[in-house]
Amino acid sequence: MAIQRPKGTQDLLPGTVEQWQYLEDTIRNVCREFGYEEIRTPMFEATELFQRGVGQTTDIVKKEMYTFLDKGDRSMTLRPEMTASVCRAYVEDKLYGQPQPVKLYYVGPMFRYERPQSGRYRQFHQFGVEVLGADQPLVDAEVISLVWNLYKRLGLVGLEVHVNSVGCPTCRAEHRKRLQEFLDERQSELCSDCQERFERNPLRILDCKNPSCQTLTAGAPTTKDTLCEECSTHFEGVLALLGAAGVVYRVNPRLVRGLDYYTKTAFEVMVEEIGAQSAICGGGRYDGLVEEIGGSPTPGIGFAMGIERVLAALQVQNKLPEQKPKLFAMFIALGEKAQNKAFSLLCELRDQGIPVGMDLLGRSLKAQLKAADRQNARFALILGEAELEKNVLLIRDLTIGEQTEVSLDKSLQEINKKYQRGV
């Protein structure tokens, strides 16, 4: 039996890859304009990095990591996300010695052993940014406005930006206590995951997608009731700046992140049209994370966005650009002598940077013309024995069907002129 690709992975074929390139180009342009620089880190890291940096109690670490022993018996893991790797690089590569804050972005594959379904893969791709070394509300607002700006640039509509503040370890302890008090009597009615979360990570119960848990927690105390003064002032500051940037957002007090190193701002972007997996971007502040993985206390904030889901949204909203023609011209050569001459002209045109092609299968005139059409070429450059004898090349405009004859010596110049003029 033919070997198949692993479950939850995709082959990106020509036609689709161009859509990815368009999205990646737009991402890179926006990041450049916002002053973010690209970072590339290894595809796999020591397992401990994710245990500490993502958190032992998270689903990712508990159930979803691709972990293996290498030949030196070291436990390695394919990266399930990038924030931990970026923080590791910040410490290991001494980026704290550079002018602060350090503003980084990445685009690349991540790996999680999840149950594959539409919009959820085992190898998926994220674009994300991380800003390290700044704790002002201005940074939170810049990061969220970068997301907003990207979506505007792409032409996406109908997005919901949810923001919240999860507080700091100090004020969150009070929220945790109140939440446990509230949920105490209802504990047995929670789903089995949430029953487990009750002691370990009760905040995550607010985030549970199970409808009965959502009903049970409808009136639960939110972080808003317990924010300390500093966290509350920070949050007000972020909201005011988001308003100034023209970002349309909704405060969602149920938006939480369960781990201690997540602090203050949390946000998420949703687009309903792409189905159950509607979250296209999630992020927030993590002022405790760099210290958690062994660096000095350093404030940080970032987000990760699912490339596959953004592309799905662009697709349903019909916002993907039309594919550009692949070739400007196709040589159509008949007979060996003509083929040799055409090949030499083709090489010269390629040297000039003009996208041209020729038949590689020795096909008939008709088949070659059909192929030129399929390539969406603007011109067919026809060279048979008769043309060779007359020392001419036929240039056929495939959009209007008109044909001109030019001398072979002037043909390169003529084609170049048409290419430069854009016809």
Asked if 126 is part of the footprint of ligand AMP (rule: CB under 6 A), the reply reads yes
Residue 282 or 299: the one with the smaller Cβ distance to ligand AMP is: 282
Rounded Cα–Cα distance for residues 410 and 28 (Å)? 41
Asked if 228 is part of the footprint of ligand AMP (rule: CB under 6 A), the reply reads no
Asked if 120 is part of the footprint of ligand AMP (rule: CB under 6 A), the reply reads yes
Interface with ligand AMP: number of residues (CB under 6 A): 16
Residue 115 or 366: the one with the smaller Cβ distance to ligand AMP is: 115
What's the gap between Cα 248 and its chain centre?
22
Residue 281 or 388: the one with the smaller Cβ distance to ligand AMP is: 281
Residue 156 or 388: the one with the smaller Cβ distance to ligand AMP is: 156
Residue 67: CB minimum distance to ligand AMP, A: 17
Among positions 302-361, residues that touch ligand AMP (CB under 6 A) are 304-306, 308-309
Asked if 18 is part of the footprint of ligand AMP (rule: CB under 6 A), the reply reads no
Residue 155 or 275: the one with the smaller Cβ distance to ligand AMP is: 275
Residue 10 or 391: the one with the smaller Cβ distance to ligand AMP is: 10
Of 355, 354, 356, 361, nearest in space to 334 by CA? 361
Does the CA dihedral 277-278-279-280 come out positive or negative? positive
296, 289 in Cβ contact below 8 A?
no
Exactly one of 106, 124, 262, 328 binds ligand AMP (CB under 6 A); that residue is: 124
Asked if 159 is part of the footprint of ligand AMP (rule: CB under 6 A), the reply reads no
Give DSSP secondary structure letters for 175-204: HHHHHHHHHHTTGGGS-HHHHHHHHH-GGG
Exactly one of 55, 202, 221, 282 binds ligand AMP (CB under 6 A); that residue is: 282
Asked if 121 is part of the footprint of ligand AMP (rule: CB under 6 A), the reply reads yes
Of 167, 131, 174, 130, nearest in space to 264 by CA? 167
Rounded Cα–Cα distance for residues 248 and 145 (Å)? 10
Residue 122 or 396: the one with the smaller Cβ distance to ligand AMP is: 122
Both tokens of 382, joined, read: 């026809």
Rounded Cα–Cα distance for residues 289 and 295 (Å)? 9
Asked if 280 is part of the footprint of ligand AMP (rule: CB under 6 A), the reply reads yes
Asked if 201 is part of the footprint of ligand AMP (rule: CB under 6 A), the reply reads no
Of 118, 116, 142, 148, nearest in space to 130 by CA? 142
Buried b (16+ CB within 10 A) or exposed e, 196-231: ebbeebbbbbbbbeeeebeebbeebbbbeebbeeeb
Q: Which residue is nearest to ligand AMP (CB)?
A: 306
Rounded Cα–Cα distance for residues 278 and 388 (Å)? 61
Asked if 107 is part of the footprint of ligand AMP (rule: CB under 6 A), the reply reads no
163, 178 in Cβ contact below 8 A?
no
Residue 126: CB minimum distance to ligand AMP, A: 5
**Which residue type does 141 have?**
A
Residue 310: CB minimum distance to ligand AMP, A: 8
Asked if 81 is part of the footprint of ligand AMP (rule: CB under 6 A), the reply reads yes
Exactly one of 78, 107, 281, 394 binds ligand AMP (CB under 6 A); that residue is: 281
Asked if 245 is part of the footprint of ligand AMP (rule: CB under 6 A), the reply reads no
Residue 139 or 310: the one with the smaller Cβ distance to ligand AMP is: 310
Residue 86: CB minimum distance to ligand AMP, A: 13
Query: For residue 55, how many C-alpha atoms fall within 13 Å in the half-sphere facing its CB?
Result: 15
20, 311 in Cβ contact below 8 A?
yes
Asked if 262 is part of the footprint of ligand AMP (rule: CB under 6 A), the reply reads no
Asked if 279 is part of the footprint of ligand AMP (rule: CB under 6 A), the reply reads yes
Exactly one of 52, 88, 103, 112 binds ligand AMP (CB under 6 A); that residue is: 112
Asked if 172 is part of the footprint of ligand AMP (rule: CB under 6 A), the reply reads no
Give DSSP secondary structure letters for 297-346: ---EEEEEEEHHHHHHHHHHTT-SPPPPPS-SEEEEE-SHHHHHHHHHHH
Residue 45 or 308: the one with the smaller Cβ distance to ligand AMP is: 308
Asked if 204 is part of the footprint of ligand AMP (rule: CB under 6 A), the reply reads no
What's the gap between Cα 394 and its chain centre?
46
Residue 265: CB minimum distance to ligand AMP, A: 14
Of 306, 314, 324, 279, nearest in space to 152 by CA? 314
Residue 178: CB minimum distance to ligand AMP, A: 26
Interface positions with ligand AMP (CB under 6 A) = 81, 112, 114, 120-121, 124, 126, 279-282, 304-306, 308-309
